[in-house]
């Protein structure tokens, strides 16, 4: 597994692709691997043909694996359940023997060339699963592309064979002049969804970088200030972190549905499906949603718990710190729109009040800590048991509350000289840029105490236990008060 300790992880793709082209099947790697992808859109199928060419035939059988989950979507999807018609042959078309090993591994007899083919049923409306429907295809790559020999570091080329009337491929992956897409490794491939078809696409340039808005339902989009407001948010992120961690960024925004997933240099979201919002709050909700996924470029893709990469795509990856990755992102998605002049402070406090109200009116907060809600997400992502609110909390609810609490406590302890931005920047600079890795739980708390200039024992109890939050003791020193009758935050006049 490769880590890119610099700011320009995706910028490195182009260079890495050149290396890949030079090394594939010659020295640097012991095999080359390339995909041909086509579509049966009427039947909702993606057809994959993979060509694997080993350097020598002494290596024995070849092991092909399909992930069972996708980073950011903390549930076992079991992608192989969508796979059918697996077949393998050599360069002359002679069938090769193969067998399954577990639910997501195919072991194939080796040959001078191993050609593997299979079809993926793609009719899901989930942001982590693929959909081929009429004149559009959304590819969630984890469910489509197998990696070989347990080696996710290997570069891979992808050629798409599109139906005649399809004209566009929107993705963060770079392509060469022949229309072949290159991923320097499978981690980048799996982090680069694709929207393919005839959809609307418009590219804007903002502060020296290109941003593609690829929309499945574009009508009315250009009449809204959505792109302009999004870029104001982008600028606020750049002010905190001193730049952006990509060359270009792609928003793959699909028809009506819910759910978005963050990716390095892109985001994929099901949206409101329309751009004529009935109320300002509806507009802000949609804008915050895109800003949330964007902020993940920093917080989770770069600033990340150490467990979140390199990934084991075969099984769950447990971390007690998703409340930082998701909760602080929920906090910033709103706060930075205030700094950008898009939202008022009152709107921001109303938004945060909703989280506090949700938390404080749930019995679950007395039974589950924030830390535990992170660790146990693999059990609870789609757990709809009727007792949910009685025994569990969500880090999407208490997490942003803790974002506010961290910001307030750091400001109070440093006489307003530092804030949560300083902690996020320290983690970004020290662990992502400096060490090219995530942080441990201990390193997070050490960094937080370093920024605050003192011990954060109370905050640790708010995270690690079910201890009740003393809101006004925390917030009044920074000019915010909570009316606990309706759980409403207000700025102190
Ligand atoms: Zn998120």
Q: Residue 440's domain is classified under what CATH number? A: 1.10.390.10
Distance 299 CA to ligand 1 centre (A): 9
* Residue 397 exposed, middle or buried by CB count within 10 Å (0-12, 13-18, 19+): buried
Q: What is the pLDDT of residue 418?
A: 98
Q: Is the domain of 182 the same as that of 238? A: no
Q: Is the domain of 223 the same as that of 90? A: no
| Among candidate residues 138, 163, 197, the one where a domain is terminated | 197
Q: Is the domain of 190 the same as that of 217? A: no
Q: Is the domain of 146 the same as that of 232? A: no
Distance 73 CA to ligand 1 centre (A): 9
Q: Is the domain of 413 the same as that of 329? A: yes
Distance 159 CA to ligand 1 centre (A): 31
Q: Is the domain of 280 the same as that of 180? A: no
Nearest C-alpha neighbor of 466 from the set 356, 389, 392:
392
Q: Is the domain of 231 the same as that of 360? A: yes
The answer as to whether 8 is a domain residue is no
The answer as to whether 426 is a domain residue is yes
Q: What is the pLDDT of residue 103?
A: 97
Distance 268 CA to ligand 1 centre (A): 12
Q: Is the domain of 72 the same as that of 102? A: yes
Q: Is the domain of 314 the same as that of 453? A: yes
Nearest C-alpha neighbor of 320 from the set 438, 410, 452:
438
DSSP for 316-363 reads ----TTHIIIIIHHHHHHHHHHHHTTSS-HHHHHHHHHHHHHHHHT-G
The answer as to whether 11 is a domain residue is no
Sequence-distant (6+) residues with CB within 8 A of 97 are 88, 108, 109
Q: Could you tell me the CATH number of the domain that includes residue 161?
A: 2.60.40.3650
Calpha distance 446→455 (Å, rounded): 9
Count structural domains, the chain. Answer: 2
Distance 328 CA to ligand 1 centre (A): 9
Nearest C-alpha neighbor of 172 from the set 247, 269, 97, 68:
247
Q: What is the pLDDT of residue 165?
A: 92
Contact criterion met (CB below 8 Å) for 405 and 458: no
Tokens of 26: 């010659």
Tokens of 486: 């309706």
The answer as to whether 3 is a domain residue is no
The answer as to whether 351 is a domain residue is yes
Q: What is the pLDDT of residue 340?
A: 98
- pTM value is 0.93
Q: What is the pLDDT of residue 4?
A: 29
Q: What is the pLDDT of residue 258?
A: 81
Return the residue matching tokens 């409403």.
488
Tokens of 251: 């928003």
Q: Is the domain of 245 the same as that of 193? A: no
The answer as to whether 14 is a domain residue is no
Please list the ranges in the chain whose pLDDT falls under 70. 1-27
The answer as to whether 7 is a domain residue is no
The answer as to whether 318 is a domain residue is yes
Which residue range(s) make up the domain with 329? Answer: 203-491
Q: What is the pLDDT of residue 25?
A: 39
Query: What are the pLDDT digits (tens) for 158-212?
Result: 999 999 999 999 999 999 988 899 999 999 999 999 999 999 999 999 999 999 9
Q: Is the domain of 179 the same as that of 259? A: no
Distance 326 CA to ligand 1 centre (A): 5
Sequence-distant (6+) residues with CB within 8 A of 81 are none
Distance 300 CA to ligand 1 centre (A): 9
Sequence-distant (6+) residues with CB within 8 A of 401 are 327, 352, 355, 356, 359, 469
Q: What is the pLDDT of residue 18?
A: 34
| Among candidate residues 197, 212, 237, the one where a domain is terminated | 197
Distance 262 CA to ligand 1 centre (A): 7
| Among candidate residues 197, 219, 248, the one where a domain is terminated | 197
Distance 424 CA to ligand 1 centre (A): 16
Query: What are the pLDDT digits (tens) for 18-55?
Result: 333 334 434 478 899 999 999 999 999 999 999 999 98
Distance 360 CA to ligand 1 centre (A): 22
Please state whether beta strands 260-263 and 200-206 pair in parallel, antiparallel, or not at all (unpaired). Answer: unpaired
Q: Is the domain of 42 the same as that of 66? A: yes
């Amino acid at each position: 597994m490769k880590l890119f300790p610099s700011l320009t992880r995706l910028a490195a793709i182009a260079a890495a692709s050149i290396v890949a082209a030079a090394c594939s099947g010659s020295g640097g790697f012991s095999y080359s691997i390339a995909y041909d992808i086509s579509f049966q859109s009427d039947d909702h199928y993606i057809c994959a043909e993979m060509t694997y060419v080993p350097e020598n035939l002494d290596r024995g059988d070849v092991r092909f694996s399909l992930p069972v989950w996708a980073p950011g979507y903390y549930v076992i999807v079991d992608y192989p359940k969508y796979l059918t018609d697996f077949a393998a042959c050599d360069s002359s078309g002679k069938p090769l023997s193969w067998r399954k090993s577990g639910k997501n591994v195919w072991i194939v007899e080796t040959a001078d060339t191993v050609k593997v083919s299979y079809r993926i049923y793609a009719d899901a409306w989930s942001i982590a699963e693929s959909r081929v429907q009429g004149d559009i295809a959304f590819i969630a790559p984890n469910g489509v592309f197998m990696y070989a020999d347990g080696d996710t570091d290997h570069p891979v080329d992808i050629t798409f064979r599109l139906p005649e009337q399809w004209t566009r491929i929107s993705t963060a992956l770079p392509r060469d002049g022949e229309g072949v897409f290159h991923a320097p490794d499978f981690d980048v491939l799996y982090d680069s969804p694709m929207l393919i078809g005839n959809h609307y696409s418009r590219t804007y340039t903002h502060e020296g970088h290109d941003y593609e808005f690829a929309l499945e339902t574009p009508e009315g989009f250009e009449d809204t200030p959505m792109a302009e407001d999004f870029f104001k948010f982008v600028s606020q992120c750049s002010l905190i972190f001193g730049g952006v961690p990509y060359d270009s960024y792609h928003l793959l925004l699909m028809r009506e549905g819910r759910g978005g997933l963050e990716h390095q240099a892109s985001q994929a979201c099901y949206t409101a499906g329309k751009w004529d919002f009935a109320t300002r709050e509806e507009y802000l909700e949609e804008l915050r949603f895109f800003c949330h996924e964007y902020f993940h470029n920093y917080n989770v893709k770069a600033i990340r718990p150490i467990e979140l990469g390199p990934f084991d795509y075969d099984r769950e990856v447990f971390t007690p710190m998703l409340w930082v990755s998701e909760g602080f992102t929920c906090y910033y998605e709103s706060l930075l729109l205030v700094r950008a002049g898009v939202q008022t402070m009152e709107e921001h406090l109303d938004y945060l009040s909703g989280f506090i109200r949700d938390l404080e009116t749930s019995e679950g907060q007395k039974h589950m800590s924030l830390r535990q809600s992170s660790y146990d997400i693999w059990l609870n992502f789609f757990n709809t048991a009727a007792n949910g609110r009685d025994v569990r909390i969500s880090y999407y609810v208490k997490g942003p509350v803790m974002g506010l609490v961290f910001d307030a406590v750091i400001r109070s302890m440093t006489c307003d000289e530092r804030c949560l931005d300083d902690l996020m920047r320290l983690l970004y600079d020290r662990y992502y840029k400096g060490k090219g890795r995530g942080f441990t739980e201990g390193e997070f708390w050490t960094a937080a105490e370093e920024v605050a200039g003192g011990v954060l024992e109370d905050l640790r109890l708010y995270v690690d236990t079910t201890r009740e939050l003393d809101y006004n003791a925390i917030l009044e020193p920074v000019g915010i008060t909570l009316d606990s009758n309706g759980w409403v935050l207000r700025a102190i006049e």
